[in-house]
Amino acid sequence: MAERPRLRSEYFENLYSASPDPWGFETSPYERRKYERTLEVLQDRRYGRALEVGASIGVFTEMLAPLCDELLGVDVSEKAVSVARQRLRKYSHVRIERRELPEEMPEGPFGLILASEVLYYLPREVMLETLARFEDALAPGGRLLAVHWRKETETYPLQGDEVHGLLVGNSRLHVRETIVEPEYRLDLFEDGR
């Protein structure tokens, strides 16, 4: 079967044109449960500098902000970035930027990189390149947290379980915690340096 193409910014701009919250980040019980679980896994430490990839409209960014001294949220959609900037304007330690990864990966080091429901938009080789960029940008002892929806879709280049299989099989980071729920999988990786 031919690999599905990478989903680019136009795809996401169209989604945000049709709805200001296309995945229901503000209202979805699924998103709320996943956010709470993600915060539970992360709240055992404070992060000096963190990167949230796929910040969208900033719903989780706002929840993550209290755990960070400096937080950079990035998204490929200018529409989403605009909404997130408004939502987070009261936080002087949070910046939101439009970037397309891995090509526009911000310079590290980061104590935390969070990739929630974004890596399956990339074909295999681009996803692995993104993982390498994440590893390069992590501070010694830093963490990479990946969480993805596990339901099958014909739209995305990869499925959630595929993403996590590739991460576990190709990362130099060690897995600190894995949570597998029917709807999503979460892996917390840590740099051993």
How confident is the model over 46-57, as pLDDT tens digits? 999 999 999 998
Tally of domains in the chain: 1
Assess if residue 2 is contained within a domain: no
For residue 9, the number of C-alpha atoms closer than 13 Å in the C-beta half-sphere is: 13
The parts of the chain modelled with pLDDT lower than 70 are 1-2, 12, 22-24
Q: Which of 99, 97, 104, 109 is nearest to 73 (CA)?
A: 97
CA distance 123 to 7: 9
Assess if residue 170 is contained within a domain: yes
Assess if residue 80 is contained within a domain: yes
Which range of residues forms the domain containing residue 170?
9-190
pLDDT digits (tens, 9 = 90+) for 26-72: 778 888 899 999 999 999 999 999 999 999 989 999 999 999 999 99
Assess if residue 152 is contained within a domain: yes
CA distance 166 to 127: 9
Task: Report yes or no on whether pTM surpasses 0.75.
Answer: yes
